[in-house]
Every structure is written in C-alpha cells, then in structure tokens.
Amino acid sequence: MSQSKDNQTFDPFDPTGMLKQMRDSNMESWSKIMTDFVNTEAYAESTGAMLDAWLTTSGPFRKAMESALAQAMAQLNMPTRDDITRLAERLTNIEMRLDDLDARLSEPSKSDNTQPTN
Amino acid sequence: MTTKESPQAVDAGMPSFTELCQNWHRAAENLDRFNRMLTTDAKIAQTPKEVVWTLNKAKLYHYVPVVPEQDRKPVPLFMVFAIMNRPHVLDLRPGHSFVEYMLRHGYELYLLDWGEPGPEDKNMCFDDYVLEYLPRAIRKFKSVSGAQEFSMLGWCLGALISTMYAALRPDDGLKNLLLLTAPLDFSDQEAGGFTRWSSNPAFNANTIVEKLGNVPGEMIDTGAKMLKPIENYFGSYSMLWDKIENPGTVEAWHAMNTWVRDIIPMAGGAYKQLINEFYKENKLMKGTMQLRGETVDLKKLKANLLNVIAEADHITPPCQSEAVMDAVGSEDKEVLRVRGGHIGIMAGRGAEKNTWPHIEAWLAERSGT
C-alpha cells in the first residue's frame, strides 16, 4: 500500500501518505520526547496522585453498590459474590488435599520393589 | 480546481478507469484487512499438548513430543511464564514458536500456565506461587516424566519465581536454570519507568489492592504501554498499515497482537509484594526476602545458570538482571545479551536466529545424563 512519493501531491489511493511523511520525519523525536516525559518525576507523581484520588473517591460508591447488590441478592435468595468467593476458596483447599492424596497414590510403594519369592 | 500537471504525471499517464477501480478495490481490501487484524484473534498456541495437572486456575501442560523417544534429551524442560500474561507467546504460531523449536530438538517440554486469578485469589502472593503451586506442579511433572533432574526456564516474573524456588529448594533436582529478562535487582531506582513510577511516594500499591482486589489487566497493560506510548499506541499500528500487503508481516503482527490483547489481572497480594518488597525495598538482592518464614538466600542457588538479557528492554532494564550473577552460588553460569526488547528476544523476527539456538545449544550441553 505504501507508495512513497517524493513530491507532496495528495494521492487518493494513499490517503495516509501525508500522515506517513509526517510520521517518518517526526516519529523518532516524538517517541523520545514522550518516553522522556513519562520517565519524569512529575509524571510519576501526578499519575500516582491521580490513581490514588480516583480510587479514594470511587471507593464509597463501589462499597455502596456492593452493599446494595448484596442486599438485593439476599432478598432474591441468591448467593452473593462473597459467598461464591468463599466457596471457591474452600474448593481450592480441597483441591490441594486431593493433590496431596494423588501424589501419595502415585508414589511407587515400597512393597512394589520387593519381588515375591517362589 | 485545476492542477498543473507535473512532467512525471505526464510520463506516468492518467490511470485508466479499470486501474482506478482496481486501486480503490485494493485500498478497500487493505482497510478491511487492517480492521480484521485489530478486531479478531489469530490462532495462536497451536502446538499439541495435554493437561497433566491442574490446581485452582493453574494448569500444567505437556507438549506432545515430535521426535522418537531414543532421540529425546534425558533432562526435560519445565517452563514458567509470568503471572500477569498468558504463556502463549512461547508458542505463538506454527513456524515461529519456541515450543515447536525445542520439541524439534528433542526436548520433553512442560509449561506451567498460572491461569487467570479470580476474586478468591486476591490474597495470593509470591509465597503461594513459589512454595505451594510450583512445588506441586514440579512434583506432578516429575511423576509424569519420570525424570529426577530437570531444567527450568523462567521468563519475566516467571524468572523471579523460578529464581526464588531454585534458591529455596536447591536439592529438588533442578539442574539447569534459564532466566529470561529477569527482574531481580531494583537497587537502581532510576532504571526503567516501572521503577521510577513505583518508587514515587505518591504511588500506593496498598490502596490499589485494597480498593480493587486483583489488579485489572487493563491497568497493567496500560502501564506497560505507557513506558513507550508512541511506539505502542501509534507506531505499531502505522507499521501494520505500511506492511498490510505483506502476508508474512501481517500474520506475525496479528499473532502478537492477539497475545497482547489477551490481558489478565494480577493477584492483589502478589502485586503488593512485587511493588513493596521488590521494587521499593529490593529485598531479594539484599538477602532479606522471606517466603513463609524462609529467607531466600541466592547463594544456595546451585543450578547451572543461563541469564538472558535483552539489551533494549524497557520493562526489565538490563541492570535489573545483571547483579544476580554475582549473588548466586552456581559455578556454571553465563550471561547472554541479545539485541531486542522484553518480548522481542523470544518472539521477535530475530529470535529464531539469535536467541533460540543459543539457548538450545547451552541446554543441550547440560541435558545429558
């Protein structure tokens, strides 16, 4: 698709041609500027602060939503997310016990090594 | 609007109506292909494998060998990938797959896929990965393969997990340890965007985990992409458009993009530990890292070590992988520096010529009985 043109005329079959020329001449410097920018202390601080602010302010709303949903689910006799989570944790514990049992059963027992004598 | 024709235009002549139609048709096809590349998934991770063990979300895969049994290496290879990505990048697409390459060279291959943590896993931390899941997976792997000795390959956070395991369980049969872009040493707080961001007092991992539980994949993905915003948000797509008529390049881009888009959350406990105990406090290299009360002493790591470092890695800068060479107790250790980035060294175009043969040669020398 790329039809590089030396002249600056608009090619209807390559509508992105002008953009490409801009990109090719500026991409490296854009990249360097942006990479330097995101590595500044100011960027790190502002990102951290914004993230913290968003999490802190959205926290109460999220809590209210969760609590309302939990109540609604309880009214409908349906398990809540917490119920499912607790169940999943228990299942994982059971899986671990089974895994240990499986490992024990898979071990060649010592009696297998003793050949019966006739 | 009238335009004065340039001499070149006269030489070239006006395109015929048929040519015009063909050109527009081609442009429409290219646009359609471009759109498909962005919105559909390529078939990746197609090498035949079987699940031999599962626990919670974790799965252990055994790849179906492709060489006769007598030609296989006696020491199998156990691969551990990072916990916040799918491991399919090791087996990207037929004809360009590390897994395929190693199978062809006669290795028994096993891959541990950590899976996608759910809300019930939000407290999972490195203690669980290193001392609960990995030992169990290895126990099963030994039982299935019948091997007493094995090699382990860890990539990114998988390398961190592998290193800690190798130091804590040095007598577990681990013969060879391959680390790829391993983030182990965070003493330089100026190296790399992640280190700069996380070491800033305004960045609070505890709040993130407390409010969100598991850290959303989108957040981790955005963080990784923002390290090189122009390349990731613009350069990658403009490159695709440039090469849209090159089937090989398009196929490779599509496969990689499919893997990149498949983002998964990271367990909250592990994220908190990663930021606080590794990035901020550098506990592993200081020798103060403890997992379930056991101190991780890198001097106890005795396995043969190949440390693969990507020279242009912006996610794990080389300095985060280098210092481990002096810290470990291994006698046989080697550093391999490869030109390329964090993922490119193993999945890029040059991987098959540069990285894979070196890894295979190093491993082959040490995979005999």
Closest to B227 (Cβ–Cβ): which among A38, A56, A102? A38
Provide the pLDDT for residue A23. Answer: 74
Closest to A48 (Cβ–Cβ): which among B23, B202, B235? B202
Rounded Cα–Cα distance for residues B11 and B7 (Å)? 6
Q: With a cut of 50, say whether residue A3 has pLDDT above it.
A: no
Tokens linked to A55: 């999490």
Residue B17 lies in a domain: no
Q: Which residue has the higher pLDDT, B229 or B12?
A: B229
Provide the pLDDT for residue A106. Answer: 83
Provide the pLDDT for residue B291. Answer: 97
Quote the domain boundaries for residue B301.
46-365
Question: pTM, whole model, 2 decimals?
Answer: 0.88
Q: Per the CB < 8 Å rule, is B197 touching A96?
A: no
Over the stretch B267-292, which tens digit does the pLDDT of each residue have? 999 999 999 999 999 999 999 999 99
Greatest Cα pair distance, chain A, in angstroms, is 98
Query: Do residues B160 and B182 make contact, with C-beta atoms less than 8 angstroms apart?
Result: yes
B202 vs A: CB within 8 A: yes
- Substitution target in B56, B123, B210 with the highest count of A β-carbons within 10 Å is B56
Provide the pLDDT for residue A103. Answer: 93
| CATH classification at residue B158 | 3.40.50.1820
Provide the pLDDT for residue A28. Answer: 82
Provide the pLDDT for residue A11. Answer: 66
Rounded Cα–Cα distance for residues A27 and A46 (Å)? 25
Residue of B nearest to A33 (CA): B230
Provide the pLDDT for residue B14. Answer: 73
Q: Which residue has the higher pLDDT, B9 or B348?
A: B348
**What is the residue whose two structure tokens read 């899941």?**
B133
Of the pLDDT bands very low, low, confident and very high (cuts 50, 70, 90), residue B119 is very high
Q: Per the CB < 8 Å rule, is A16 touching B26?
A: no
Residue B31 lies in a domain: no
How many CB pairs below 8 A link A and B?
111
Over the stretch B201-244, which tens digit does the pLDDT of each residue have? 889 999 999 999 999 999 999 999 999 999 899 889 988 988 99
What is the percentage of chain A residues whose pLDDT exceeds 70? 75
| Domain locations along chain A | 16-106
Please count the structural domains in chain B. Answer: 1
- Substitution target in B120, B237, B242 with the highest count of A β-carbons within 10 Å is B120
Closest to A13 (Cβ–Cβ): which among B27, B143, B228? B27
- The verdict on whether B313 is a catalytic residue reads yes
Rounded Cα–Cα distance for residues B281 and B308 (Å)? 24
Q: Which of B121, B125, B156, B185 is catalytic?
A: B156
Of the pLDDT bands very low, low, confident and very high (cuts 50, 70, 90), residue A4 is very low
3-state SS track over chain B = CCCCCCHHHHHHCCCCHHHHHHHHHHHHHHHHHHHHHHHCCCCCCCCCEEEEEEECCEEEEEECCCCCHHHCCCCCEEEECCCCECHHHHHCECCECHHHHHHHCCCCEEEEECCCCCHHHCCCCHHHHHHHHHHHHHHHHHHHHCCCCEEEEEECHHHHHHHHHHHHCCCCCEEEEEEECCCCCCCCCCCCHHHHHHHCCCCCHHHHHHHHCCECHHHHHHHHHHCCHHHHHHHHHHHHHHCCCCHHHHHHHHHHHHHHHCECCECHHHHHHHHHHHHHCCHHHHCCCEECCEECCHHHCCCEEEEEEECCCCCCCCHHHHCHHHHCCCCCEEEEEECCCCCHHHHCCCCCCCHHHHHHHHHHHCCCC
Q: Over range A25-35, report the average pLDDT.
A: 85
Over the stretch B168-191, which tens digit does the pLDDT of each residue have? 999 999 999 999 999 999 998 888
B136 contacts in chain A (CB < 8 Å): 96, 99, 103
Of the pLDDT bands very low, low, confident and very high (cuts 50, 70, 90), residue B5 is very low
- The verdict on whether B242 is a catalytic residue reads no
Over the stretch B189-205, which tens digit does the pLDDT of each residue have? 888 888 889 888 889 99
Of the pLDDT bands very low, low, confident and very high (cuts 50, 70, 90), residue A15 is low
